[in-house]
């Protein structure tokens, strides 16, 4: 992926993958969330797996509440 070797700009913020995207975009697999990025040098649009800040916060507070 171009984002591993060159600078990139996030074109679309981290969003939950749809059912169709889960089947067609491999980047959805690790977290169920993707962001669309644009690589600076090659000008390629690609998808990158990401973590949802809202989901992470929910998991954190659930963990804190159970302790």
pLDDT digits (tens, 9 = 90+) for 4-58: 888 889 999 899 999 999 999 999 988 899 999 999 888 889 999 998 776 777 7
SS (H, E, C) 15-66: EECCHHHHHHCHHHCCCCEEEEEEECCCCCEEEEECCCHHHHHHHHHHHHHH
- 61 or 8, greater pLDDT: 8
- The CATH topology of domain 2-66 is 3.30.720
**pLDDT of res. 67:** 62
Q: Is-above-0.75 flag for pTM?
A: no
């Amino acid at each position: 992926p171009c984002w591993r070797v060159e600078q990139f700009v996030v074109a679309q913020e981290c969003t939950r993958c749809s059912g169709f995207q889960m089947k067609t975009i491999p980047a959805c697999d690790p977290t169920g969330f993707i962001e669309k990025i644009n690589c600076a040098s090659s000008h390629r649009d690609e998808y990158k797996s990401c973590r949802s800040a809202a989901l992470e916060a929910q998991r954190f507070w659930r963990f804190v509440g159970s302790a």
